[in-house]
Amino acid sequence: MKKGVAFLHAVGMFGHNNITQKQLTEVFNQTNKDFNILGFDGNDNIVFEKRDDVHYATVGKIIEKTLEKKLKIRVAVTTRSMHTLKRIVSRYG
């Protein structure tokens, strides 16, 4: 299992696409066969753990579709591996 972060774009900006942590918790409270939610950082970052055979972008697409289906909100999602995030922070942080 590999860890990553899903960044939800334009959540809560200018009063649009408001999503609370409570809503995120309720939407993602069930187990997904491809990944598990480990936690939320704010209301626009989702920390997850995925199966090794699942691409990070696939997790992002599942999150997008789930949010649209359950909350009727279209949100673009970008995912990054923890490895990538650590490398960026060590280089520029």
- 66: domain CATH number is 3.30.70
**CA 9, 11, 12, 14 torsion-angle sign:** positive
For 78, the domain range is 2-92
Q: Residue 19's pLDDT is what?
A: 84
Q: What is the count of structural domains for the chain?
A: 1
What is the reported pTM? 0.88
Alpha helices per DSSP H over the chain: 21-27, 56-71, 82-92
Q: What pLDDT, on a 0 to 100 scale, did the predictor assign at position 4?
A: 97
- pLDDT for 48: 96
Q: What is the mean pLDDT of each run of 10 residues along the chain (93 residues)?
A: 93 75 85 88 91 96 93 93 96 92
**Mean confidence (pLDDT) of the chain:** 90
Q: Minimal CA–CA distance to 46: which of 61, 66, 28, 71?
A: 28
pLDDT, position 32: 81
